[in-house]
Structure 1
Amino acid sequence: MAKANNDSRSTDERWTRLLRSLRPGIGQLGTYPPRALSWPPRKSKNSAAGVLYPKISIVVPSYNQGDYLGHTLKSIISQDYANLELIVVDGGSTDATLQVIKQYESYLAWWVSERDAGQAAAINKGFQRSSGEIMAWVNSDDMVAPGALRRVAEHFMANPRTQAVYGDRIVIDEAGYEIGRWVLPYHSAKLLKWVDFIPQETLYWSRSAWDLVGGRIDERFSFAMDWDFLLRLSNKDIVIQHLPIFLGFFRVHGFQKTSSQMSSVGAKEISAIRVRELGITPSQWKVLLRSVPFLFAAKWCEFFRFKLN
């Protein structure tokens, strides 16, 4: 009897793994067992003669993420991007965050640790101190992929009409092991009104775009502020492009908002945005049906772009 039960569980597990493998990685917080994260070496081009790269301002909002903040800052600093403005805005952490900040203080353009009104307020506070032509924020538990800043800067330089770009994401666990990938097929402004598949930690935009939408993250949002910001950009009909390269690492752990607040605060804010953009509160089935062509295209892209690039 015990053997039969074990065989049944084993069969169920195989079917579960099979079904997960048939789904695209986007929208999922991991699709396979942890494996070592490796990255091919790239030759630095930052010192190329005559190349003047635009200043990139990155704000890192932080609160009690001392276990991960060092990895986040190191991933940005190790880009060896000369024209970088790195800002850390901490909400008055009580863990090891301050020690981590002071360890990297010489690389920071500005930092502060004080109580604030939340993540959106911290991001706004940081950008008020910034001056870069290209802007981004990276949460204190996520990371920037090697070579990302240069790839982004070169795209903006080669495409002056572009106002915002984003790329693909690799999902990692608490220990930094890879557990999934989001390989996106293309940018869809229409689908963005229904669902947000854009990896926030891979998003970069121009200062002119920032000014165009009021130069602020909407502090009324505590969960979906990135989706709201993207929609405000998109509704200005600016050029937003998806780059088919991995630009960021998204960390999954028990204390992150994506895991802990999706069914509460997250659901309310997502519903409010859909009502604002669509005029209705669509069912999950309707959202899924609207997403099907994009999801099929994403799965197709996974077969052809699954190697690290």
Structure 2
Amino acid sequence: MSLPKITIITPSFNQGSFIEETINSILSQNYPNLEYIIIDGKSTDNTVEIIKKHEKYITYWESEKDKGQSEAINKGMRRATGDILTWICSDDLLLENSLETAANHFLENPTVSLIHGKTKTFGEGYDDKITAGFHSDLDIDYFTHMAFPQPSSFFKREIFENQSYIVDNQGIAQKNLVDESLHYCMDYDLLLRTALNYEILKVDELFSAYRLHPASKTVSDWSKFEVEKDSVFLRLLNTLNTKKEAREGIEFLKELGIESKENSESNGIYNFANQIVSKINLDRIIQMFLYRKIPVLFEAKEYETVVLYCDALQKKYPNFYKSMNLDSMYQTSKYNSLSSFGKLGWKFKKLL
């Protein structure tokens, strides 16, 4: 059986220090049916020089000013002709035999539309770490956050064809796979549209290496990720607002200051398969969404917000709160959110 065509898009901007490693990691796959597209945002470093060095092996490349990573991904996807698609950023790497392994998984599982595997984080000053991205209940986690590493995921063309946003470009309708208003959670937004409509398969292979460095968004802009994640999750709840749990969830999160900056018309944007939605536990999804925010906020020393969220979970979902062992972070946050005088009083009470 012949291997399906795989299209890899690399969005790029001023990543001359890393992009050659990215290009080599893709071309060295020696995958016989590869389409490789690089969309550069008019870099001012040596990126274009490096691309030109490899251009005879690249299906298409351009270097034009754009609005950022999301637009670059969309430009590449509209040119893609592959049966299987993904994007690999210009500071990340594909690991050996990833493309052939992914293709074979699709051939063996014809009803699956997206597969995801493991990734390795690495970078100067950071310890190498295998990130599985697999939690105990993926049927819940697919809806609460980006539950797997995007560079280790591959999806069928039908997702681009059927789940893209149709936007007007100077009177011409065009497909945008990812939402260009999102700069941090465009992959989570895409995951929600996929999870609401298609079968997803987790596999155990290590597909990619995700580079951490001071300029990477993951390292430098964690708080912006959280803001966008809130907005995307609220799109899900607004889409499902015929369900009582969704309406109550919107009000519950609003009381905690978690509300979308988007207007209501643009919130309810996802289509969905009724047979999938009928099986999801929306109440549990809302609980886990809030739970997964707490360790991030705790690590960032946002102690007052941790206390607020923990108090809310204890009140609304006491059994869930008890089962998740949040008390240590909760008590530490309560102490650290006290004034200096309050901390002295707390210590005094402990001595009595």
- Shorter chain as normaliser: what TM range? 0.7 to 0.9
Does residue 59 in structure 1 map to residue 9 in structure 2? yes
Report what 2:236 is aligned to. Answer: 277
Report what 1:267 is aligned to. Answer: 226
Following superposition, the deviation at residue 285 of structure 1 comes to: 6.1
The match for 1:286 among 281, 285, 291 is 291
Does residue 256 in structure 1 map to residue 216 in structure 2? yes
CA distance, structure 2, for counterparts of residue 225 and residue 162 of structure 1: 21
Corresponding letter in the other structure for 1:183: A
Report what 2:202 is aligned to. Answer: 242
The within-5 A match list for 1:122-141 is 122-141=72-91
Distance 1:291 1:155, change over 3 A: farther
CA contact (8 A) 2:118 2:149 kept: yes
Corresponding letter in the other structure for 2:205: I
Report what 2:307 is aligned to. Answer: none
CA contact (8 A) 2:95 2:207 kept: yes
CA distance, structure 1, for counterparts of residue 56 and residue 123 of structure 2: 29
- TM-score for the superposition, normalised by structure 1: 0.73
Q: 1:236-279: CA deviations, max 9, x gaps?
A: 1x11111111011000001111111211x322201112222243
CA distance, structure 1, for counterparts of residue 153 and residue 121 of structure 2: 16
The match for 2:25 among 75, 80, 93 is 75
Corresponding letter in the other structure for 1:180: K
Q: 1:18-54: CA deviations, max 9, x gaps?
A: xxxxxxxxxxxxxxxxxxxxxxxxxxxxxxxxx4111
Report what 2:309 is aligned to. Answer: none
Following superposition, the deviation at residue 116 of structure 1 comes to: 0.5
CA distance, structure 2, for counterparts of residue 276 and residue 285 of structure 1: 15
Corresponding letter in the other structure for 1:221: L
Corresponding letter in the other structure for 2:19: L
Corresponding letter in the other structure for 1:88: I
CA contact (8 A) 2:133 2:149 kept: no
- Structure 1 residues without counterparts, runs of 5 or longer: 1-50, 295-309
Distance 1:116 1:184, change over 3 A: closer
CA contact (8 A) 1:184 1:244 kept: no
Report what 1:12 is aligned to. Answer: none
Report what 1:4 is aligned to. Answer: none
Does residue 103 in structure 1 map to residue 53 in structure 2? yes
CA distance, structure 1, for counterparts of residue 51 and residue 89 of structure 2: 14
CA distance, structure 1, for counterparts of residue 194 and residue 139 of structure 2: 10
Corresponding letter in the other structure for 2:203: L
Following superposition, the deviation at residue 291 of structure 1 comes to: 11
CA distance, structure 2, for counterparts of residue 291 and residue 151 of structure 1: 40
CA distance, structure 2, for counterparts of residue 119 and residue 230 of structure 1: 17
Tell me the C-alpha RMSD between the 2 structures. 2.4
Report what 2:147 is aligned to. Answer: 197
The within-5 A match list for 1:34-53 is 51-53=1-3
- Which structure has the larger Rg? 2
Q: Which has the higher helix share?
A: 2
Does residue 223 in structure 1 map to residue 184 in structure 2? yes
- TM-score for the superposition, normalised by structure 2: 0.64
The match for 1:171 among 121, 146, 167 is 121
The match for 2:64 among 101, 114, 126 is 114
Q: 1:158-194: CA deviations, max 9, x gaps?
A: 111110001001111048x862111244671322222
CA contact (8 A) 1:191 1:291 kept: no
Following superposition, the deviation at residue 220 of structure 1 comes to: 1.1
Corresponding letter in the other structure for 1:270: K
User: SS at the partner of 2:17?
Assistant: helix
CA distance, structure 1, for counterparts of residue 127 and residue 91 of structure 2: 14
CA distance, structure 2, for counterparts of residue 184 and residue 258 of structure 1: 15
User: SS at the partner of 1:67?
Assistant: coil
Corresponding letter in the other structure for 1:143: L
Q: 1:107-162: CA deviations, max 9, x gaps?
A: 11000001001111101101111100000000000011111000000011111111
Following superposition, the deviation at residue 292 of structure 1 comes to: 11
Corresponding letter in the other structure for 1:194: T
Report what 2:339 is aligned to. Answer: none
Instruction: Figure out how many residues of one structure are paired with residues of the other and give that number.
Output: 241
Distance 1:292 1:53, change over 3 A: farther
Following superposition, the deviation at residue 286 of structure 1 comes to: 2.4
Corresponding letter in the other structure for 2:230: S
Q: What's the % identity of the aligned pairs? A: 32
Corresponding letter in the other structure for 2:98: A
